[in-house]
Each structure stands twice: as C-alpha cells, then as structure tokens.
Structure 1
C-alpha cells in the first residue's frame, strides 16, 4: 500500500483505502476497525493522499503530504504526543517544528488536526507506508528466501 491508494472523502470522517474503480466512481473501504465499504460517484469530492500538499512560503509553494508525514515519522516514530483535542497553538507549533516554512495564513489549525489524526491512524495500522523503498525491498527479499 502507498499514499496513492489512500483517499479522503469530503463530508466523511477518516481515511479510506481504494478498493476498485467503478464506471461512475470508485469503491472505498474505511481504514478504521469497522472496515465499512462505501461507493462514491464521480460527483463526490475524493482526494488521494498522494496528491495532497501543504502550503509553504518557499519558492516551491507547497510540500507533498507524503513527505511531511515521513518527516513526522522520522522525528516521532508513531507518537507525536498531541491529543485529539490539542489547542490551536500546540498544533501550529508542532507543524512549525516539522515544516518551518509552512504558510501560516493558508494552513488552518483544522488542517493540522487532520494531519495529526491521519498520521496516527496510518502509523499505528500501516507502518510500512513510512519505510523507504530500500527497506521495503530488503524485507520482501528476506521474506522470499
């Protein structure tokens, strides 16, 4: 699994794995313990995590979410120390620590809260997402032997 196989749906909480495309949309499965299936049509606002970026003030203008999450993982290894009800100042200082050049005017506290929530879900249930390709290859080769 990679970040291009994980989606978020506007109006629905949580993250979903992409199961299969359909003629008019796609089939998704919730990544929580319930594993509910959901069919979304082409009119639904679905965003794949591999295509989401965080606004920055540098010349690039944004940083891919995948890169930011891997940076969080390298620093915290699964435990950010933030509670789901953390206040806005804590959330902003957390992101400032991880991504000093994030655009404070365009990235809201609610966005940072989602980032932290998504990171916790993925790091607990899908830690292989944060491994580098080299590490994944080595593990696969060992498993094949």
Structure 2
C-alpha cells in the first residue's frame, strides 16, 4: 500500500483531512493532517469517511477504483512534481482525470469531486510517506522475520526463567531455615528453648 490511508478521514462540516487518534464518549479525537497536527473532537453527528474506503466511479457500473490506487497512479505519473490545485483550470483538471483514470464516469464524477481529489492528494503526499510496492514487498518479510525473532526470544526467555526456577527448587533455603534468622525475637526464643531442652536432659 503506497499511502497508508487507514487512519485518514474526511469529516463533514470540517475542512481538510484528519488523522484519527482515539474514540471518546462524545465522538472521536482527530488531528489535522498538516504540520501543526491540531487536535479537536469530531462529534458523533459528524460523518467520518475513511479515505481507504472511498472509490472513484468508472464507466463500468460494477467497477470502481479505490482511492489508494488512484493516489498511487498519481504518484507514479507525476512523482513529487504535482502541478494541480483545486484552483486549476477545469479543462486541465479534466485532462488530469482522464490521464489517471481514462474510463472514469463523466456523469457521476463531478468537477467538485476532481477538485476534492486534488486537494486530498496534495495533503496526503505532503504529510504521509510514499512506499513503493517493491519496498512494501521487501519490508513485509523483514517485519515477519523480526516478529518471529522476537517471539523466539520471548520463548527462550520464558524457558530460561522456568529452568532457573526448577534448578533452585529445594536448594535455596527459606528464611526460617537460614543460619541467620531475619526475626531477632524468633532467634532469641529459639535459643531459650534450646537451652531449656539441654537442661532437662
């Protein structure tokens, strides 16, 4: 996944994009997707639309293009030099859309949608890291290997702890069996009893 959009959302009544932080009783705490990362609370009445669940209509009624894939196409085509904004000429934005999704549905995808797409992409590309597919493929096995190593290390640590406990069982004396009792009064009482026993003998 080039751009991780799982926690990125558009919220009704609130401009821009937001990163979901954590839920609250009143709604959800979010932070703006910019350098300031300003936090606020989106109430339960606000509609939260996760970007990774949004798709673009195509001429095929049964086919849509996920926003994650659209962003990937834009990145691959324009790289870091993305020239469009929501104030670009409509004709240029139409050509841009035709380049990225040649078969997009002209009737159901409005110019306002294209401008929103451009605005969202600029925010995401300026804030989130882009991970190429080959890099993602390379990192996945590495993460799995690291997880296995940590799990194996944890198993060894647990086994070592268990072995230590078994190796000392019945060997290390309890406090009451040591030569130097930790309770002075108990030691005095034990000495007195011992002397009394010797006298009676």
**Gap regions ≥5 residues in structure 1:** none
Q: Which TM-score applies when normalising by structure 2?
A: 0.63
- Paired with 1:54 and 1:135, the residues of 2 have a C-alpha distance of 29
Number of residue pairs the alignment of both structures matches = 142
Compared CA separation, residues 139 and 33, structure 1 to 2 (3 A): farther
Q: Which has the larger radius of gyration?
A: 2
Deviation per CA, 1:34-92: give whole Å up to 9, x if none.
Answer: 21112112211110001111111125332111111111111111322224410111111
Q: Which has the higher helix share?
A: 2
Asked if the contact 1:78–1:120 (Cα under 8 Å) also holds between the matched residues in 2, the reply is: no
TM-superposed CA distance for 1:127, in Å, is: 2.3
The one of 101, 104, 121 equivalent to 1:102 is: 104
* Root-mean-square deviation (Å): 2.4
Structure 1 segments, 4+ long, off by >2 Å, are 130-133, 135-141
**Gap regions ≥5 residues in structure 2:** 145-201
Compared CA separation, residues 122 and 23, structure 1 to 2 (3 A): same
Asked if the contact 1:9–1:46 (Cα under 8 Å) also holds between the matched residues in 2, the reply is: yes
The one of 21, 41, 50 equivalent to 1:19 is: 21
